[in-house]
Structure 1
Amino acid sequence: MAGAMGQRLAELIAQYEVPGAALAYLHQGELHEFAAGTLNADTGVETTTDSLFQIGSVSKVWTATMLVQLAERGTLTLDTPVIELLPEFKVADPEVTKTVTVRHLLSHTSGIDGDLFLDTGRGDDCVEKYVAACADLKQNHPIGATQSYCNSGFIVAGRILEKVYGKSWDDVLREQIVEPLGLTHTVTLPEDVLRYRAAMGHVEGGKTAPVWGLMRSAGPAGLICARPADVVAFGRAHLEGGLLKDPQAMWEPQVALPNPYTLGSHWGIGWILDEWSGHRIVSHGGNTIGQHAMLWIVPDTGTVVAVSANGGRSGAFTHAVATELFAELDGIEVPPVLGPPETPVEVDLERHAGVYERVGARVTMSVRDGALWCRMESTGALAGMSPPLELKTIPVDENTFVGREDGDPQWLSAVFYELADGTPYVHMGARATPKVS
């Protein structure tokens, strides 16, 4: 398999229109590395195994790991209220301000609107300034009532690290994870990325992204740049030790995902949890502007896989890589992405029609020509980065729908559900969005 994977990777990036990709995996104690394509369509620079890619939200597990390190040392507990660690912390709901805990942040159950992307400058105080700006953030859902992906919560978690250590998140990351693991190709700041061969993101049409990366304040939620071998080394430390006394404690399910068809069935502490062919799977993915990364761990086989891509149909590409690789390495069948049922189902479409909105996104569900159409729009700071997406959806059952863009092999799923108090929500892309009209 190892010998053929280099050629197969090149074939897969061509199939999924990915400019360049790098792959590393640990299997039976041996590391394998592969690369294919180009890092930048404008320059034609070749992708190599030591190229740095933005790993996006995979960074969240690194931030969560450092909080768990503090818990193991007795500096805090996962159930310590955030305000005890950050007295200046505040959100719009005063009760949430007083009661939200570290565990809520790391399991995406705080309910705090999570997609505030705010440029607070390039200084070492950028995360501190970001947390101050959270004072106006409203609740996406009541605290602990459901799961909704929360970038904002992880930036707050990063600020806790800064407050405890008296250093920037970037410095804490280097001292607590990068240096102890001996990672030579893992950095966070663009001026450090420039020292290496690095990927540029690509957007629709294969064009290079309008900007290289996100604002520095998003660091704790998603600004690590690394080669896949370094990401594998991080994953391996969660199997074999080196960072935590009990890394498996992070694999304990904290909340079931209302939509289990997108990432996994449950969220742990930082990690996404699932089961494939009877094997526990621990993973996380990440997306930045035109870049995508995935990290998977199979605890009972010891296999760790990291793959990064810089554009194209990157989600379908990484799923295809996982499907072929895990079947070959461990005999594990990766579940196919949920698609339409073989036999069409008749459901009441009107009950789901309306506008669903949270910070950073507006989802409009409308019934047209006997189908439920979904229009997704980015709002706020990222509004100009991508055009609105409109999909015709197909019901799988009364509350589950799938849709995809023309030419896209990957289906997107939406699950409509209600909280305990009867409030209607739609769960898409790991986010809970309340119905507002």
Structure 2
Amino acid sequence: MPSRNHLDKIGRKTKKKWTEEAMEHALMEVKSGRCTVRQAAKEFGVPKSSLGDRVSGRVRPGSRSGPAQLITSSDEELLVEFSLYVSKHGFPLTKQQLVSFASSIYKRQHRRVAFSKLGQTWWLNFRKRQEKNITIQPADAANRGRTVHVRKEALDYFFHILNSVVEAHALRDKPYHIWNCNEMSFQLARKRAVLPKSSGQGCKSTPGFKDYISVMACLNAAGVDIPPFVVYSKAYPSGLCYKTRGPSDALYGWSDSGCVTSELFKKWFLRHFLVYAPKERPLLLIFDGHKSPLNLEVVETARKEGVILVCLPPHCAHVLQPLDAGLFPLIKRRFAVLLGEAHAADVTLFAVSKKDFSGVLKGAYQVTKEDEGIRIVKESFRKCGLYPLCHFPFNDDHLMPSQNMGAQPGDATAKDSLGSLSSAPGPSA
């Protein structure tokens, strides 16, 4: 890949020394018949070949020199605006993420192209063009990969963002407008079988791993829920019974890992959340953007629909995630009871088939409609400081590492980073 210095040298060699205004005047003189191409080029200081191309029609007046622009200037402005928006809402982009979003814009313009042409050259030129609007900050070593402890600075910054959003949109006393979504995972196991052991040692039960399924739930600070989103691993179960037996109005999808991907999150937000969410706006949606990566189309639609997106800081779910704090453990206990496994040694494994999963989930998810579930959700929002908004002082217990620090199926490996994108100081920010 070309280096920044190499590109700068090329730019210095090929930089044009004439203006479009001079080219326009020269073109007018030639078309009026007052000058020849050679005379007009000499008088106005423009290249004779370039003027000749415009006179003959091979090049349209006003066309930019150099190779064709990969994404338009208006789309590049949209990309900058998008990066600044997510940075101000708790999710600063890395270089890889921004190039990925730019590639999605490119593919949207060139639907027949199988892959994007955006690479290191485009990135370096983009940085140079937008150096007044964005700034590149080196990634903090403590933020790379999976941190060992929750950082107090990350919590302070999150509550600063949240308080700014709540005050700006007058949401301090509107629990029905403050929503939180998160996914819980279920590891399915084959039916327990009793296998013979060596003589004199009895028998043992071997569940065996089978499928991984995620369920995305979304509730507000008043305890009102949106029907769940069930994501299967690899493929849907055979037949349609998983839909007819599952929770009412639930949405279904699948991914290779059984986790919510960027495309699935877009599907959930556009076709499910906006359908069942209150029509009165604005709404605040708090979620883990690091597990469910943001999509450019999601941000565009959210801003049009009056939905403010705020991302939780990474690895803070056990401190800031209301649904993890009480509702999800309760749903899993109900799920185990319905399977007759309430006293099983390992409640993270559930002996249920992929086809029958949604039927059991329907009974367990009913707790979100009951007084106990609503009370737990309200209390969890309060304990996490999300509603009523309260940045209480976190002690050493809150700053302990998350219990779920191991990699989940579908998790990306630790990313680099050259840094994250954020707004540059000054009016342009």
How high is the TM-score relative to the length of structure 1? Answer: 0.26
Report which of the two structures shows the higher radius of gyration computed on alpha carbons: 2
Greater per-residue strand proportion: 1
Larger relative contact order, structure 1 or 2 (CA cutoff 8 Å, min sep 6): 2
How high is the TM-score relative to the length of structure 2? Answer: 0.26
Greater per-residue helix proportion: 2
